[in-house]
Structures are given as structure tokens and as C-alpha cells.
């Protein structure tokens, strides 16, 4: 058991060394999860995808499955995403794809609740604002507070949503023409018009 743990640690050190750019900046400071996702995506798009296309394992524009990555020299990328180092969180591949804007390859559209109600009826603009507000209050605001991006009763601003975690939400809202100011008003936030820019 002790030998196994030692070998596992050696393996982790090799992974950490190769993918250290996903854990620390050039000064050795640990990256937060948003920065980790950003750096991982750069590597994914500049190294992994071109390599797999060149080897005819995927076609141009296609995203590799977990199985393909596990069967190639890129299997350690999955471990590097998952491994925890410093203040980094563990990231699963499907979550990495989601946060990186590849939600369409996951075979699902998680934003249908912005278009239709539970009975399949199309929502009008206010209905879309209500649904977007519910998601904002239940999912995004608690995360902003946990990450100490905002404090209690602080109005979330444009820059607060300029992060990988919220990219798809912003994208989904923009597509539907929903104004961020309307979401804030619906959520009960008070703000001055000149104090906040609409992210759309």
C-alpha cells in the first residue's frame, strides 16, 4: 500500500509538472478556478484538438469524448483538470466543456426554461425575465457570495459576470434579448442607471 501511494504521488508530480500552467501563474501564485479553466481551454484548443485532428481521431470542429482522451497521450489532461492543487477546485471534463462554452456538444440545452414553462408553453418577455431571475438568485448570486466576488446586499455588476462560470448564462440571456437591468429589478436590487452598464 505504501509503495502504491508513493507511485501515485510520483505520477501526480509528473502531471503537476506538465500542467503546472493550470495550477500556478508565472510568479508561482495559485490560480483560482476561473483562471484554471481559462488556461485549460487555451491548451485544449491549441494543443489537444489540433493533435487529435491530425491523427484523424476527430474531425475539425468536433470535440473529443472522454474515451478518446483516455486512449491517447492526453489522458493526463483529464487528471490535471480533476486534481486539486492549492486553491483550485476539482473540475470534471463535462463541466469544463460547459464552462468553456461547448454546451452544444453535451447533447442538451439547459436553457429551455428561459423559453417555455413546465407545460411547454412559450414564455413572453416577462416570463423569460422571471425565469432568468430565478436562476440568477438561486445559482449565480450564492456563488458570487461564496467566491467573495460580491458582499451581502451588494449589486452585482457587469464585471462580476465576466467569468467562465457565467459565460453561458450571459450568452443565453443575450440571445433572448433579456436586459440585465430587468433581472436586477426583478430580483429586488436597487441601483442607479448611470452606475451600472447593461451587459447586453
The answer to whether residue 200 is domain-embedded is no
**Structural domain of residue 62, as residue ranges?**
2-103
Tell me the C-alpha to C-alpha distance, in Å, between residue 169 and each of 11, 48, 51, 111, 150: 37, 26, 30, 8, 18
User: What is the C-alpha end-to-end distance of the chain, expressed in Å?
Assistant: 56
- Provide CB contacts within 8 A for 75, sequence distance 6+: 69
Considering 82, 103, 124, which residue would you say is the last residue of a domain?
103
**Model-level pTM?**
0.50
Of 120, 136, 144, 146, give the one whose Cα is nearest residue 186.
136
| Each residue's pLDDT tens digit, 84-106 | 644 446 788 877 887 777 755 55
pLDDT tens, 172-195?
Answer: 888 889 998 899 899 988 765 544
Asked whether residue 96 falls in the same domain as residue 116, the answer is no
pLDDT by residue (tens digit) across 111-163?
A: 888 988 888 889 999 999 999 999 999 888 988 888 888 888 888 887 788 77
Provide the domain count of the chain: 2
Q: Does 158 map to a domain?
A: yes
Amino acid at each position: 500500500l505504501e509503495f502504491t501511494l508513493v507511485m501515485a504521488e510520483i505520477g501526480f508530480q509528473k502531471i503537476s509538472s506538465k500542467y503546472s500552467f493550470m495550477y500556478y501563474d508565472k510568479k508561482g501564485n495559485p490560480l483560482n478556478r476561473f483562471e484554471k479553466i481559462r488556461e485549460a481551454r487555451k491548451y485544449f484548443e491549441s494543443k489537444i484538438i489540433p493533435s487529435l485532428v491530425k491523427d484523424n481521431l476527430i474531425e475539425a470542429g468536433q470535440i473529443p469524448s472522454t474515451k478518446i482522451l483516455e486512449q491517447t497521450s492526453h489522458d493526463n489532461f483529464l487528471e490535471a483538470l480533476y486534481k486539486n492543487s492549492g486553491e483550485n477546485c476539482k473540475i470534471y471534463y463535462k463541466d469544463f466543456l460547459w464552462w468553456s462554452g461547448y454546451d452544444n456538444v453535451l447533447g442538451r440545452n439547459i436553457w429551455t426554461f428561459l423559453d417555455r414553462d413546465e407545460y411547454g408553453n412559450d414564455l413572453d418577455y416577462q416570463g423569460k425575465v422571471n425565469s432568468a431571475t430565478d436562476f440568477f438568485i438561486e445559482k449565480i448570486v450564492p456563488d458570487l457570495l461564496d467566491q467573495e466576488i460580491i458582499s451581502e446586499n451588494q449589486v452585482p455588476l457587469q464585471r462580476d459576470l465576466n467569468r467562465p462560470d457565467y459565460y453561458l448564462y450571459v450568452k443565453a440571456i443575450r440571445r433572448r434579448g433579456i436586459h440585465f437591468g430587468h433581472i436586477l429589478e426583478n430580483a429586488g436590487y436597487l441601483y442607479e442607471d448611470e452606475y451600472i452598464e447593461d451587459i447586453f
